[in-house]
């Protein structure tokens, strides 16, 4: 933030009104920059949430988890991975993607959701790496980049969320 110090001795031509106007314009510019950051964080979070929500929805309601297990288990079985890991992995990733995708969209428990989705991405990468060491990353990479972006940006950028509203409510109650 730019601090403007008004010293009447040095700058006799400047009035207090001109200084206040200059400070106002500086703060407005900073507010505009912060709005752009908030928009970027919201867009990235909602987009990533939609990607995972629709992926989880497809796995659970359209394809069915049992069909996902069958698709995943056969290649993993050839590599010696027990069926238990295929089943647990398919159920976990499907429900993590559905639930955490939704919570990411509304901004509720954002960091817990992102950590679980990071686990989901890591689990999928390991499973695909076991099946085929040179697997196609076109679905994996965009999700990973968006997730890392959201984890790296300052939390002050992502204020359009349920988490932020809840923190404001708690702050208001604590000051009363």
Residue 117 lies in a domain: yes
Q: How many domains is the chain built from?
A: 1
What pLDDT does 27 receive? 53
Average pLDDT over residues 88-113: 96
What pLDDT does 31 receive? 55
What pLDDT does 18 receive? 43
Residue 119 lies in a domain: yes
Residue 52 lies in a domain: yes
What pLDDT does 173 receive? 83
pTM (predicted TM-score): 0.78
Residue 166 lies in a domain: no
Residue 142 lies in a domain: yes
Residue 93 lies in a domain: yes
Residue 56 lies in a domain: yes
pLDDT by residue (tens digit) across 116-171? 999 999 999 988 888 888 888 888 899 999 999 999 999 888 989 999 889 888 88
Per DSSP, the residues of 34-75 read HHHHHHHHHHHHHHHHHHHHHHHHIIIIII-HHHHHHHHHHH
Helix axes 16-57, 140-152, angle to 10 degrees: 140
What pLDDT does 129 receive? 87
pLDDT by residue (tens digit) across 17-28? 444 444 455 555
Given pLDDT bands bounded at 50, 70 and 90, which one contains residue 174? confident
Which domain, by its residues, includes 101? 44-157
Residue 164 lies in a domain: no
Question: For 153, which DSSP code?
Answer: S
What pLDDT does 137 receive? 83
pLDDT by residue (tens digit) across 24-78? 555 555 555 578 888 999 999 999 999 999 999 999 999 999 999 998 888 899 9
């Amino acid at each position: 933030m730019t601090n403007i110090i008004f010293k009447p001795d040095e700058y006799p031509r400047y009035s207090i009104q001109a200084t206040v106007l200059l400070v106002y314009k500086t703060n407005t510019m900073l507010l505009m920059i912060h709005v752009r950051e908030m928009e970027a964080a919201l867009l990235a979070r909602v987009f990533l949430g939609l990607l995972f929500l629709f992926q989880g929805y497809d796995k659970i309601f359209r394809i069915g988890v049992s069909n996902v297990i069958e698709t995943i288990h056969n290649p993993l079985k050839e590599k010696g991975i027990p069926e238990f890991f295929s089943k647990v992995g398919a159920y976990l990733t499907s429900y993590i993607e559905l639930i955490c995708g939704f919570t990411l969209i509304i901004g509720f428990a954002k960091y817990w959701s992102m950590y679980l989705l990071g686990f989901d991405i890591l689990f999928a990468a390991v499973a695909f790496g076991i099946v085929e060491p040179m697997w196609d990353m076109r679905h994996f990479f965009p999700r990973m980049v968006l997730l890392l972006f959201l984890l790296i940006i300052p939390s002050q950028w992502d204020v359009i969320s349920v988490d932020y509203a809840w923190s404001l409510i708690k702050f208001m109650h604590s000051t009363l």
